[in-house]
Amino acid sequence: MELDEKSVKLERLYALHKNIMLYTAERILRDYQLAEDAVQKAFMKVLDNLHKIEEPDCNKTRAFLVIITRNVAITMYNRQKKQAVPIEEIEQMDCAGGLTPFDLVASKESVEAIAQYSGQLDKKYADVLALKFYYEYSDSEIAGLVQTSPENVRVRLHRGKRKLTALLKGDERFNGSQNRR
């Protein structure tokens, strides 16, 4: 992508999504000027991944930009309050017995069904799950976007999948029940 094309695309993204990005950042930072800084930093991250954004004016792009903005704002907030975000401990999960309910629905065709349940998850888990399975980013790319380590991304993916699996087990569409009449 040429420099002119990048500029035009970035300007279009900014024009279309700056208000929701500012709103997202200001809700976290409670300061308009800091929110503007967060949006600027978010766009610096977007610039590195601009080639992956196919359509500037769609819900997928909007959600992607909101996730990046929210994570930049949270990082700024934590730095401002001098609170370190601890790296989560890795927990073991017994996967014996075959596929989990998450494995059964972790495909693009099931995104809508999963979205219903992922809305009930903590944002840090829902965001990495969305970036991994909907936007198809690698763990390293996600780490850069949410400003954490690839190891922490893997932990969040693991925990998010486990929490989502627990939610899905309560839904007869995903619990393996064949008792339909």
For residue 127, what is the domain's CATH number? 1.10.10.10
**Among 78, 169, 168, which Cα is nearest to 124's?**
78
pTM: 0.55
pLDDT of residue 16: 93
Number of domain units in the chain: 2
Residue 96 covered by a domain: no
Residue 91 covered by a domain: no
Choose the final residue of a domain: 51, 80, 109: 80
Question: What CA–CA distances, in Å, run from 159 to 50, 68, 84, 124, 126?
Answer: 29, 20, 20, 10, 10
pLDDT beyond 60 at 86 = no
pLDDT of residue 59: 86
Question: What CA–CA distances, in Å, run from 173 to 18, 89, 113, 162?
Answer: 38, 32, 10, 17
3-state secondary structure of 175: coil
Q: Give tens-digit pLDDT for 120-178.
A: 889 889 888 888 877 778 899 889 888 899 999 999 999 998 888 888 777 666 665 44
pLDDT of residue 119: 78
Residue 174 covered by a domain: no
Residue 90 zone, left/alpha/beta (φ > 0; ψ -120 to 50; rest): beta
State the residue range of the domain holding 116.
101-169
Q: Give tens-digit pLDDT for 5-51.
A: 888 888 999 999 999 999 999 998 988 999 999 999 999 998 888 88
Neighbours of 114 (CB within 10 A): 22
